[in-house]
Structure 1
């Protein structure tokens, strides 16, 4: 019974005791090896960094803002003075936190891949073939796919993913500032891509917010022109009839003049009402138009962003020293087990 309750102790050969003095002694004996291993590895990493193509980064910062129409002296106050109301602002505004998603969409990336951009030497290139020699520029048929099923070659899809990683946008939730970043092998190309991205975002947001209102303004403008023409024609007809029948006092003459007078008044009323609606629609479109204030425009960078040679040297130095440390520990343990 006593033998069953006793727990066997592990063999003494399986117990490894390491004291601080052992660790200190190990580094004292091998510090020179570790130093030169880290130094040589760091030099190798620094040399390898020269084999990597340099990259240049251009950035832009914008502050999105939408007109509320409720401030003093706003367009809504101007509209009320003119005799009409703009009504409540629509709630279909595009949230600024969705801007990065717009700039990562395939529609935007396809436009970027097919747009000519300048290089530092003055040459113009298309990103698709510039970043990947095997990728063909997108054809007009591919660009016209729009919301339909998108068909790309493997090379085109590969370079699209590359561009998606090179052109990015992010939003600072605290300040609301949108940062646009473009990283390219050429400094002028990086700035041109950032500028194009900023322009695309402005156009997209403007069309999204004001598309329907622009269509309404265009429709009302056409109606106003037609009503104006009818108003002018009825006015000419009424005055011409009065000139021809100044001395006529018959009932038929009075009936005809009354009919022309009614047509003229109706045309005048319609023209005035459509004119007021057109002005209201124009002011409302301006009131609710999105505003993207550029805080920092893109600038051609003078220094490369990658590769960072100091980080390459430091990383290789740490890696080389760690590998040599593992080798030393392994060799020491092997010798210890063989002769210890």
Structure 2
């Protein structure tokens, strides 16, 4: 006997005509549900906190070294030689500088003025439970940082409100700050730009500035020695105008040698100082502000249209599920 053949599973087909018929029966319900949900979302958007966004656009530039003319050509005319210093921070790292804890500590402890004239500090303005940062905590930016949970919560909030992004095609850096007050948003953006410019300049010229300070001290000392040798030589000559002894000539020769040595040392150090000063200017990067931050007149959040659209889609989707599985009981047809 042949074994009974298993019955083929029933295939449920849903045609386009069925789908069209379903929407034809329930389109009004879906439309009303979407409209009511959108209206509810628009109303709820008024409960969301208002935010303002200020933006600055910066173009990073660096000196081209000895081949770029400018100070290098001026130095060559003066007989000075400048080296090509390529130590610089890559522009794609600028967003990391804005997001560093050193900058966050600085901006959290800086007083700002609101639109109504009130002076505030971000730490307490964004979280009333947080205590203001102490000078000791701000000074810890380059070492071990300790803060309370409330202060750390504010730091994370500030970090999310301050963003920096680099445009890959143009190389322009966009710095943005989003705050509950329009004047505060512009002030925070401006502080971020200033901090970035100072940080990049200090990083690039730190070594040359140390050398510059050392040469200034050496030049001042050499100048004093040169002036003292000049006075000593002229004083001796005034006192021994008619002296023709060998001892007088030897002493005069010694004073003159001291004077010449001091003059040579002073001249050489002065040239080195001028070369170092030009080198420091040559190495200083230029961050050109293409668009300064402007106090925004329009709020960036909440976006009420997006609220309404999102709630309308959500309400329509939930209504669709209700009609499919409760009103039409499609799942029972599928499960058989």
TM range (shorter): over 0.9
Given that 1:45 and 1:312 are in contact with CA atoms closer than 8 Å, whether structure 2 keeps it comes out as yes
Return the TM-score normalized by structure 2. Answer: 0.95
Q: Which moved more, 1:242-251 or 1:177-186?
A: 242-251
Return the alpha-carbon distance in structure 1 between the equivalents of residues 267 and 211 of structure 2: 17
CA RMSD of aligned residues (A): 1.8
Q: Which residue is equivalent to 2:61?
A: 65
Distance 1:262 1:7 in 2: 121
What is the match of residue 33 of structure 1?
Answer: 29
CA spacing shift, 1:72–1:215, aligned 2, 3 Å: closer
Deviations 1:273-308 (A, max 9, x none): 000000000011111111010000000000001111
TM-score (structure 1 length as normaliser)? 0.94
Structure 2 equivalent of residue 102 of structure 1:
97
Matched residue, 1:9: 8
Partners of 1:224 and 1:320 in 2: CA distance: 79
Q: How does 1:1-340 map to 2 (within 5 A)?
A: 3=3, 8-10=7-9, 12=10, 15-70=11-66, 73-87=69-83, 89-334=84-329, 337=332
Q: Distance in 1 between matches of 2:152 and 2:308?
A: 34
Query: 1:199, 1:335 → 2: CA distance?
Result: 63
Displacement after TM superposition at 1:152 (Å): 1.3
Any conservation in 2 of the 1:129–1:137 contact (CA below 8 Å)?
A: yes
**Which blocks of at least 5 consecutive residues in structure 1 are unaligned?**
none
Q: Give the C-alpha shift of residue 84 in structure 1.
A: 1.7
Distance 1:69 1:331 in 2: 75
SS in 2 for 1:301: coil
In 2, are the aligned partners of 1:69 and 1:75 still within 8 Å (CA)? no
Distance 2:158 2:330 in 1: 54
Task: Check 1:26–1:281 CA distance in 2 against 1; reply closer, same or farther (3 A cut).
Answer: same
